Amino acid sequence: MINECLICNSIINEILNINFIFSFKAYQNIYICKLCRNDFIKITGNKCKNCCKKGDFESKICLECKRWSTLYNFKLENYSIYEYNEKMQDFFQKYKFNGDFKLRKVFQNDLVNYLNNKSEILVPIPVSEKAMESRGFNQVIGLIENIEYCECLKALNNKKNQSKKNRKERLQTKQPFSIISDQIKLVEGKEVILIDDIYTTGVTLRHATNLLLHNGVKKVRSLTLAR
């Protein structure tokens, strides 16, 4: 199988061994070479059991999540796959802000493999109409384009995008979403996994979780590509 690395444009020549062939597993196209893959660091080891922040915390919960627990009557249950290091920042600059849509394929396998055999309904975090006009696509949906999902959230047209806000402004953000009434019926009484691209302060996921729980969703947890 021959593909091109979407990060460095080198040729990926993968040879399928006999064990894989007779395993009858579905083949996943690879769009990142081994050298580039090594630049992206997966989150492993000690981490906050609520938000996946790396570190060895008392009671396994970071200080930020302890503070959040005083504001919300639910516990965020988030899993993030990769650290948001310099290489990941560069990836999102090209994919999310420069609009290089083909890059959506680079990490799709990571999300597919994590979500495999999960029974929850996937709900992607939406982008505003302003972001759609400038970007042309929802970067979150791009990451899960081959998986079934439900769009039951709508982004309100805030004057300033989340990516352009500093930490203080993010923490003070008011509810940025509304419910799509004909779609929320599909998740009422069900369990949901919210999908987002980057976990920064957790405000976005908590707003979305709070809204879904108040509209009949049984349980919400979340998955982000980077943290």
CB burial string 104-129: b at 16+ within 10 A, e below: bbbbbebbeeebeeeebbbbbbbbbe
Rg (CA), the chain: 18
Q: What is the pLDDT of residue 173?
A: 77
Q: What is the pLDDT of residue 14?
A: 73
Helix boundaries (H) for 10-93: 18-21, 34-37, 63-68, 86-92
pTM of the model: 0.88
Q: What is the pLDDT of residue 79?
A: 98
For the chain, 227 residues long, the average pLDDT of each consecutive 10-residue run is 90 68 67 97 97 94 94 93 98 96 97 94 95 93 95 84 62 87 97 98 96 97 98
* Residue 149 DSSP class: -
Q: What is the pLDDT of residue 128?
A: 92
Q: What is the pLDDT of residue 3?
A: 87
Instruction: List every span in the chain annotated with CATH 3.40.50.
Output: 43-226
Which one is the CATH code of 43-226: 3.30.70, 2.60.40, 2.60.120, 3.40.50? 3.40.50
> How many beta carbons lie within 10 A of that of residue 75, not counting itself?
15
Q: Is the dihedral of CA 36, 39, 42, 44 positive or negative?
A: positive
Q: Is the CB of residue 183 less than 8 Å from the CB of residue 152?
A: yes
